Structure 1
Amino acid sequence: MTAATAGPFVHPALFYRGEQEYLDGTVPFVRAGLEAGEPVAVAVPAQKLGVVQEALGDAAAEVTFVDMTQAGRNPGRIIPKVLRVFADARPDTRVRIIGEPVWPGRSEAEYPACVQHEALINSAFEGREATILCPYDAEGLDERALTDAYATHPVVISGGREQKSPSYAPERVVELYNEPLNPSEAAQEYVFGADELPTARYFVVEQAARFGLSGIRLEDLALVAAELTTNSVVHGGGTGTVRVWAEDGQVVCEVRDEGCMKDPLAGRQPSPPAQLGGRGLLLVNYLMDLVRVHTGPEGTAVRCYVDC
């Protein structure tokens, strides 16, 4: 693969058809990194981890393996908790990562967040010494996913051939999938200001418990609700609306306010240890199973999904 040495940051998409093409595209990529002395990580769905490990043989012991269906269930945490945590721990050398965030079976709610993630990798790693190869199942994914991969990756590999993408436009993709989020008609809502923050949190906990959420997951949602409602008061015009409803076996909590989120990478970058505050959205991404955001001049909605 020539893309691996084309610049400081290289971000190719790999279109594969069947297991053999998957191995032909990933295993040589891993071996080339190891031979070059580059730390290598493979973050792919669980069923793919085993076949890559088996194909690598003894060399698998030199590779970091991550189950993307767990670590990357929420696409918003892949950059900070999977990619950056690996790269930042090795600041003095080029790193090589296989990351597969889009796989057959991703829900319609998850997909826009996946595409925005793929687009935002390019700015998150701009100037970094890293190669991130993103496999796409060309048989199992629909045409939309493959078309979007051309827009989020400057280089595409298909049928063993590498080419520059003719439609690479990551900033346009981020905006395209900044979709309005229409709340459920069944949602219960509460309007809050600074004086109602404790009540807003209690409202979320009460509603979520009624929908079957309990234990540590209920505690996680309570913490997320506290972070988001506080952000609305501090950064979103002093007031906001929180809504809660149940949907397809999940509890959904959404907070809306009049603020506008200027940085598309907000909540997707690890914070420097010395930084005071500013970790609220990052925490939200770490704790929730999915986070969707819509922001613009009319305000911002942050929607969180958590499995019951």
Structure 2
Amino acid sequence: MRLPCGRRGTPAGECPGRGWVRGPVRADAAAGEPVAVAVPGERIALIRDALGEAAGDVRMLDMREAGRNPGRIIPGVLCAFADVQPAGRRVRIVGEPVWPGRTETEYPACAQHEALINAVFRGRTVTILCPYDASRLDERVLADARATHPVVIPAAPGPRQDSDAYAPGAVVARHNRPLPPPPDGALSFAFAECSLPQARHAATGEGARLGLTGVRLDDLSLVTAELATNSVVHGGGGGLLRVWPEDGYVVCEVRDKGRLADPLAGRRPAPRDQRGGRGLLLVNLVSDLVRTHTGPNGTTVRCWFAR
């Protein structure tokens, strides 16, 4: 392990796929070390060219698909690769979760994801490099990068530096923002334990009316059932379901009186022998985006599904 937290951060102005993969990534791949690269799809060809023959030894993933929902990246990308490697073997992952074009709606979930990675991999033999396109991302994003990564590697040749701004907990808290209110006309359904099936049927009926079909409609049904059940068990016995259309998506929100104390809830892969406790993980794995706000008066979980 290179760092106590097992991670390196890189706000890099260089286009991912060039200098920073020719050295350590190609060397590790040639040495038989497990290496994965998860970047937006249009960068993959650049990386293959930079790696040359070593590209065949690197697991390549399109982050626009695998990491569309930032809450899916830790369990579905990083842990999905690292956890299947032989115990004690060093693993290197290059992951670019923040790219130009991420929306303002998506970005708080991206920042929180970046702040939580070290807590998941602390004590493990894993090095994670996170490239940032400093020439196209604004300074607010780069400031968050410095606060969520213990080490920064500049794009221009120069030494690695410990980040004096490293404060991941502050980033998680800062982006725990109240969500904008649903629009007028959103479907609203107050539910309790006795009305869980009706809540699910209400959500899927509205989702179908708004254009969801097939697997996407099934995903909405699953998410509604998991969130509503979680509200009954952990959120005071019930909650409020809302569904509405937004910019080509169907949005499902569940609000209750519970307090989500663990920011990693739904991001840790569940052990195979664990009974239950997978509800929020399933929500992250099937949704296109998940945003959460928790405060003294309760918790709101909002999920997006592309139509």
Q: Same fold (TM over 0.5)?
A: yes
Query: Could you tell which deviates more after superposition, 291-300 or 112-121?
Result: 291-300
Check whether the contact 2:5–2:119 (CA below 8 A) recurs between aligned residues: no
For 1:213 and 1:37, locate their aligned partners in 2 and report how far apart those are by CA, in whole Å. Answer: 44
For 1:77 and 1:65, locate their aligned partners in 2 and report how far apart those are by CA, in whole Å. Answer: 17
Match in the other structure for 2:77: 82
The amino acid of 1:156's aligned partner reads V
Check whether the contact 2:235–2:258 (CA below 8 A) recurs between aligned residues: yes
Determine whether 1:50 maps to 2:45: yes
The amino acid of 1:230's aligned partner reads T
Match in the other structure for 1:61: 56
Instruction: Give the secondary-structure state (helix, strand or coil) at the position aligned to 1:120.
Output: helix
Instruction: Give the secondary-structure state (helix, strand or coil) at the position aligned to 2:36.
Output: strand
Check whether the contact 2:212–2:250 (CA below 8 A) recurs between aligned residues: yes
Matches within 5 A, 1:1-308: 6-19=2-15, 22-90=17-85, 91-158=87-154, 159-161=156-158, 162-186=160-184, 187-308=186-307
Check whether the contact 1:16–1:22 (CA below 8 A) recurs between aligned residues: no
Instruction: Normalising by structure 1, report the TM-score.
Output: 0.95
Shift of 1:184: 1.8
Structure 1 runs, 4 residues or longer, greater than 6 Å off: none
The amino acid of 1:157's aligned partner reads I
Matched residue count: 303
Instruction: Normalising by structure 2, report the TM-score.
Output: 0.95
CA offsets 1:191-245 (integer angstroms, 9 cap, x no match): 0101111111111111111211111101110111011001100110001000111
Instruction: Give the secondary-structure state (helix, strand or coil) at the position aligned to 1:166.
Output: coil
Shift of 1:18: 4.2
Runs of at least 5 residues in structure 1 that lack an aligned partner in the other structure: none
CA offsets 1:27-52 (integer angstroms, 9 cap, x no match): 21202323554211001110111111
The amino acid of 1:108's aligned partner reads E
Check whether the contact 2:21–2:51 (CA below 8 A) recurs between aligned residues: no
For 2:113 and 2:12, locate their aligned partners in 1 and report how far apart those are by CA, in whole Å. Answer: 20
For 1:305 and 1:160, locate their aligned partners in 2 and report how far apart those are by CA, in whole Å. Answer: 41
Query: Could you tell which deviates more after superposition, 183-192 or 62-71?
Result: 183-192
Check whether the contact 1:9–1:129 (CA below 8 A) recurs between aligned residues: no
The amino acid of 1:299's aligned partner reads G
Instruction: Give the secondary-structure state (helix, strand or coil) at the position aligned to 1:302.
Output: strand
The amino acid of 2:78's aligned partner reads L
Query: Could you tell which deviates more after superposition, 257-266 or 158-167?
Result: 158-167
Shift of 1:272: 0.3
Instruction: Give the secondary-structure state (helix, strand or coil) at the position aligned to 2:147.
Output: helix
Runs of at least 5 residues in structure 2 that lack an aligned partner in the other structure: none
Shift of 1:8: 4.8
For 1:297 and 1:73, locate their aligned partners in 2 and report how far apart those are by CA, in whole Å. Answer: 30
Check whether the contact 1:290–1:306 (CA below 8 A) recurs between aligned residues: yes
For 1:295 and 1:174, locate their aligned partners in 2 and report how far apart those are by CA, in whole Å. Answer: 11
For 2:19 and 2:50, locate their aligned partners in 1 and report how far apart those are by CA, in whole Å. Answer: 10
Check whether the contact 2:17–2:48 (CA below 8 A) recurs between aligned residues: no
The amino acid of 2:256's aligned partner reads D
Instruction: Give the secondary-structure state (helix, strand or coil) at the position aligned to 1:144.
Output: helix
Instruction: Give the secondary-structure state (helix, strand or coil) at the position aligned to 2:180.
Output: coil
For 2:237 and 2:13, locate their aligned partners in 1 and report how far apart those are by CA, in whole Å. Answer: 51
Check whether the contact 2:17–2:50 (CA below 8 A) recurs between aligned residues: no
Check whether the contact 1:27–1:55 (CA below 8 A) recurs between aligned residues: yes
The amino acid of 2:196's aligned partner reads L
CA RMSD of aligned residues (A): 1.3
